[in-house]
């Protein structure tokens, strides 16, 4: 008896899903974003969560057209000395209510951050930190490198730190690796905190104009037991400033751009997609064989249907070998999901074994049961 197509087609449907080609899971919110692309006035909050929290530029914060990748728009120059080189966003409830988060920004350091500039040597990349005993909230900092030889953070050598003011205590963690050799180039930075006191609750990340995002050092555990974020005491969300030390000059000696706050944990693929959004000069995304700016199932299909053909069919997004081959599949698999912000990496199909399994399943419809 021939197997019923009504029974065979659902199985084939499952196989098609396995082949592709499930899209990465979306769902995190871009809570707040300052892109600094306005010609004048406040830094407008273009995040997805209401109400908006526009940023007021201090008198020492100057707009600049120097941007990552040399693209359109602008950035903020915070290199002027004095405590007014900052951007203040008030005390927005949408930031206060965060439990876990990912923060990201671009910086371009043009000089060393001196001791008198940072006071405690904590240069505030992003902060919402109160001045009470547990320093309610958080502050993400630049600090001197791990080697202990330098007393300042410089364009060529710095590390990151994060302080968490919680319900139980004041906790912190410092990256156990430095960002080195950037030489004043635009650098993409990020940090994630899972909102708990568990082990391995914090990660730092970095990338560059030509460098994909990677994790910086180990996954860390905050000191003490902060007991999660606690934002009861009012404080400003800001860059180059903290309510805990309002008269100190704690901005970077340089420029800052694209400040973002997400209410969940972004993985490497998602963070690299954020990095690429600021690089209009990057025209080729490896694995994006159909040039639609997203590496997805359609690109896999194009690779599969042209295996062994001239590589020009992949529109310059392959591995450069000249022939469509496994190296191009590897490039596609490594970047699958790039071009869109995703919380977790999608399941990437194997190039051969899964395809063979599905072909076998497709042939089941022609089988006959013999007596």
**pLDDT one-digit tens code per residue, 24-54:** 233 468 999 999 999 999 999 999 999 999 9
Report percent pLDDT > 70 for the chain: 77
Domain boundaries, the chain: 5-24+284-365, 30-277
Pairing of strands 75-77, 254-262: antiparallel
Domain 30-277 fold: Jelly Rolls (2.60.120)
> Residue 156: what pLDDT?
80
DSSP 314: G
Is the per-residue pLDDT at 305 higher than 50? yes
Q: pTM for this one?
A: 0.69
What average pLDDT does the structure give for the chain?
A: 80
User: In 3D, which of 32, 50, 53 has the Cα closest to residue 42?
Assistant: 53
pLDDT digits (tens, 9 = 90+) for 246-294: 888 788 889 999 999 999 999 998 999 899 998 875 457 889 998 888 9
Q: What's the whole-number mean pLDDT along residues 227-251?
A: 82
DSSP 23: P
Read off the pLDDT band of 226 (50, 70, 90).
Answer: low
Do 293 and 285 contact (CB within 8 A), yes or no? yes
Which range has the worst mean pLDDT, 187-191, 238-242, 276-280?
276-280
Residues with Cβ within 8 Å of residue 337, at least 6 apart in sequence: 23, 24, 269, 270, 273, 295, 296, 345, 346
């Amino acid at each position: 008896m021939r197997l019923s197509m009504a029974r065979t087609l659902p199985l084939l449907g499952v196989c098609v899903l396995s082949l592709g080609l499930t899209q990465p899971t979306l769902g995190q919110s871009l809570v707040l974003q300052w892109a600094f692309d306005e010609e004048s006035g406040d830094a407008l909050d273009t995040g997805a969560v209401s109400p908006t929290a526009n940023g007021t530029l201090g008198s020492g914060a100057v707009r600049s057209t120097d941007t990552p990748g040399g693209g359109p728009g602008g950035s903020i120059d915070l290199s002027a000395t004095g405590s007014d080189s900052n951007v203040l966003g008030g005390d927005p409830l949408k930031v206060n209510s965060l439990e876990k988060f990912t923060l990201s920004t671009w910086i371009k350091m043009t000089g060393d951050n001196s001791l008198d500039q940072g006071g405690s040597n904590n240069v505030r990349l992003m902060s919402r930190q109160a001045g009470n005993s547990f320093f309610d909230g958080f502050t993400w900092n630049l600090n001197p490198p791990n080697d202990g030889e330098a007393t300042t953070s410089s364009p060529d050598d710095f590390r990151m730190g994060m302080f968490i003011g919680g319900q139980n205590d004041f906790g912190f963690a410092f990256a156990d690796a430095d960002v080195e050799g950037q030489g004043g180039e635009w650098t993409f930075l990020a940090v994630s905190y899972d909102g708990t006191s568990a082990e391995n609750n914090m990660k730092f990340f970095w990338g560059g104009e030509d460098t994909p995002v990677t994790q910086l050092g180990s996954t860390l555990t905050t000191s003490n037991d902060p007991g999660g974020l606690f934002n009861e005491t009012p404080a400003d969300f800001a860059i180059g400033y903290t309510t805990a030390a309002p008269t100190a000059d704690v901005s970077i000696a340089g420029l800052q751009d694209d400040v973002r706050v997400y209410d969940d944990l972004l993985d490497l693929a998602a963070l690299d997609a954020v990095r690429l959004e600021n690089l209009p000069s990057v025209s080729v995304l490896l694995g994006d064989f159909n040039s639609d700016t997203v590496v997805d199932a359609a690109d896999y299909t194009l690779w599969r249907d042209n295996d062994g053909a001239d590589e020009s069919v992949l529109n310059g997004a392959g591995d450069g070998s000249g022939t469509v081959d496994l190296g191009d599949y590897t490039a596609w698999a490594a970047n699958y999901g790039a071009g869109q912000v995703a919380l977790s990496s999608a399941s990437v199909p194997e190039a051969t074994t899964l395809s063979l399994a599905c072909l076998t399943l497709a042939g089941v419809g022609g089988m006959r049961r013999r007596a």
